[in-house]
Amino acid sequence: MQTQKGGLFTFILLAVALHFATPVFAAKEVKFVSVPWTGVTVKTELAKNILGSLGYEATSQNLPVPIVYKALEMGDADVFLGNWMPSMESIASGFFSKGTVIKYVANMPGAKYTLAAPAYVVDGGLKDFSDIAKYADKLDHKIYGIEPGNDGNLIIQQMIDENKFGLGNFKLIATSEPIMLSEVKMLSKEKKWAVFLGWSPHYMNELIDMKYLTGSTVETFGANDGTATVYTNIHKGFDKEMPNVAHFLKNYIFSISMINEISLMLQNNKQMKHAEAGMEYLKKHPEVYRGWLEGVTTVDGKPALPVFEAYLKNT
């Protein structure tokens, strides 16, 4: 009799656990997908910390840009905070057209993403995309990109493959953001010529005396000389599945100056992590997170602002 009661009790506990625990955990999980760029990493790590303080299970994974969109489409990822447009048009637009990935909200207007050069190179005559081929020997027939598969690299490689602007005999140097910047810094110190993939906001704009080239086209980095808007993307249906998080993402907007300041903090203190630098910024600028958390709740429905402020105070 005791054994039967014990077995029945165990069965009831297991049934309750299966009925309640699994859906609650699934409802709390937010899967970010990211790319290893400073600004996108800051946004992602900050979002994870904020949502974590509100009771969500927030995770992230770094992937190449084309895989980011497949992960969103398949539901293996929920949110991407680094959709740079128009440069990602060729990768992202198909997913937007199918409706499997939603553009959702512009999280940072007024950005820049195009080819750049040290200021002395631009002042020396290489001002425009059409000027690059004229100085092929001084550039050692190289254009410096970042990680393989990146949308900017794909644009540069297409320019080379199609001999746009006479770049057919150039080579794309694909490494990573830190390696590229290290190489350009070294070349700049020696006053050697270089053209590289540049963007703003980023600490490179403080670290290197640089200028952006003119001459970008619709087929390359956009008709407005690389001026960009960064969007938050979500997979289809995420805003219905997790409306509270979706509301937070609607509020989650960044200024160029904010990312520049955080990026410079990271550059000046190599031991500091992205989330740590972001939190330090928020402590100095409470108006930013107050706007982000307007109308947002914790996972169990309490107002988010006091909960996050208590968390921030203890970090």
Nearest alpha-carbon partner for 251 in 297, 284, 311, 306: 297
Residue 126 lies in a domain: yes
Residue at which a domain ends, from 192, 226, 260: 226
Q: What is the pLDDT of residue 25?
A: 39
**CATH code of the domain in which 242 resides:** 3.40.190.10
Helix (H) or strand (E) holding 69: helix 65-74
Instruction: Looking at the structure, tell me whether residues 82 and 121 fall in a common domain.
Output: no
Inside any domain, residue 297: yes
Residue at 19 is within a domain: no
Taking the alpha carbons at both ends of the chain, their separation in whole angstroms is 54
* The two structure tokens encoding residue 314: 């203890």
**Is there a single domain that holds both residue 116 and residue 105?**
no
Cα–Cα distances in angstroms (integers) from residue 107 to residues 40, 60, 85, 89, 226, in the given order: 11, 18, 12, 17, 17
**Taking 90 as the threshold, does the pLDDT of residue 84 lie above it?**
yes
Give the pLDDT confidence score for residue 182 in this predicted structure: 95
Q: What is the CATH number of the domain that holds 211?
A: 3.40.190.100
Q: Does 239 share its domain with 213?
A: no
Strands 57-62 and 29-34: parallel
Q: pLDDT per residue over 46-67, tens digit each?
A: 999 999 999 999 999 999 999 9
Check residue 4 and give its pLDDT.
Answer: 40
Tell me, yes or no, whether 149 lies in a domain. yes
CA distances for 175 relative to 9, 41, 138, 181, angstroms: 59, 18, 21, 10
Does 239 share its domain with 94? yes
- The answer on 222 and 118 residing in a single domain is yes
Residue 206: per-residue pLDDT: 84
> Are 195 and 212 spatial neighbours (Cβ–Cβ below 8 Å)?
no
In this prediction, residues 164-178 reach a mean pLDDT of 97
Q: Is the pLDDT of residue 27 over 90?
A: no
* CB 58 within 8 Å of CB 19: no
Cα 199 to Cα 85, 163, 189, 196, distances in angstroms: 12, 24, 20, 10
Do 198 and 294 reside in the same domain of the chain? no
Encoding tokens for residue 309? 């402020």
Percentage above 90 pLDDT, the chain: 86
> Looking at residue 207, what is its pLDDT?
86
Comparing 213 with 207, the larger pLDDT belongs to 213
pLDDT of residue 24: 38
Over its C-alpha atoms, the chain yields an Rg (Å, rounded) of 23
Kindly report which listed range (15-24, 91-100, 294-303) carries the lowest average pLDDT score: 15-24
- 39 and 184 belong to one structural domain: no
190 and 238 together in one domain: no
Last residue of a domain, one of 194, 226, 258: 226
Residue 24 lies in a domain: no
Structural domain contains residue 2: no
Domains: count for the chain: 2
Please indicate, yes or no, whether residues 188 and 247 belong to a single structural domain of this protein. Answer: no
Strand boundaries in the chain, DSSP class E = 29-34, 57-62, 79-85, 101-118, 142-144, 171-173, 196-200, 210-212, 227-235
pLDDT at position 116, please?
98
Domain of 239 in residue numbering reads as 29-110+228-313
- Answer whether 248's CB lies under 8 Å from 289's CB: no
Q: Residue 16: inside a domain, yes or no?
A: no
Of 226, 243, 273, which residue constitutes the final position of a domain?
Answer: 226
d(CA 48, CA 64): 20
Q: If you average pLDDT over every residue of the chain, what do you get?
A: 91
Same domain, 103 and 233: yes
- The reply to whether 169 and 260 lie within a common domain is no
Asked if residue 10 has pLDDT above 80, the reply is: no
Q: Summarize pLDDT for 134-161 with one digit per residue, the tens.
A: 999 999 999 999 999 889 999 999 999 9
Residues 66, 193: one domain? no
The answer to whether residue 221 sits within a structural domain is yes
